[in-house]
Amino acid sequence: MIKEEEFISLYVRHETELRSFARSLTLQREDASDVVQDACIAMWRKIDTLESPKAFRSWAYSYVRLTALNQRRKKQASRLEFTGEMMEIMADEWEKEGELIGAEREALARCLGELPETQRKLLGLYYTSSKTTAVELSERLQKPVAGIYKSLERTRATLRECILRKIQIAKMS
């Protein structure tokens, strides 16, 4: 049996991963937040079904997955979404990527440290809030909006390539 404090600690540790998982199914960030929030309440109510901390990851995934599928059924037709079939495929494949997720996270932290200062600062400004847009940054930095879009895109491409490279090197060693 897991104690409440232990559950909270496990939840905090896995929150970003669960949020990413939900986002891969719902596409929109706000929807993913709702899913994670509802899933967390459901988990809290069923805390006694979690047998050990080791089982937390797959246990929590099943709640997020179910909540996302339920949310899809309830959503208005106008909302953006994958089909239920795609959500199922995506969830199945995601759950097999446990090791990769950890390696990516570690590599991303190192790659962020290797970015030139200007690119890291721009990323920081953009991701400070989920509401920040390139247009706002363009006004704030007095730079053309197209340049901001390009710089952000290039920086993310650099990060992605850096992550892949580091994972590859780690595998080789």
Find the binding residues for another protein in span 125-164 (CB under 8 A).
126-130, 133-134, 147, 149-164
Tokens encoding 166: 């580091």
Contact 115/159 with Cβ under 8 angstroms? yes
CA gap 55, 147 in Å, rounded:
46
Q: Is 124 in the site for another protein (CB under 8 A)?
A: yes
**The binder of another protein chosen from 27, 55, 58, 84 (CB under 8 A):** 27
Q: Is 10 exposed, middle or buried (0-12, 13-18, 19+ CB in 10 A)?
A: buried
Burial environment of residue 122 by CB neighbours within 10 A (0 to 12, 13 to 18, 19 or more): buried
Q: Please report, as residue ranges, which positions from 33 to 92 form the binding site for another protein (by CB under 8 A).
A: 33, 36-38, 40-41, 44-45, 80-83, 86, 89-90
With contacts defined by CB under 8 A, name the span among 12-20, 55-63, 64-72 that binds another protein: 12-20
Question: What's the min distance (Å) between Cβ of 161 and another protein?
Answer: 6
In the list 119, 137, 138, 171, the residue contacting another protein (rule: CB under 8 A) is 119
CB of 157 to another protein, least distance (A): 4
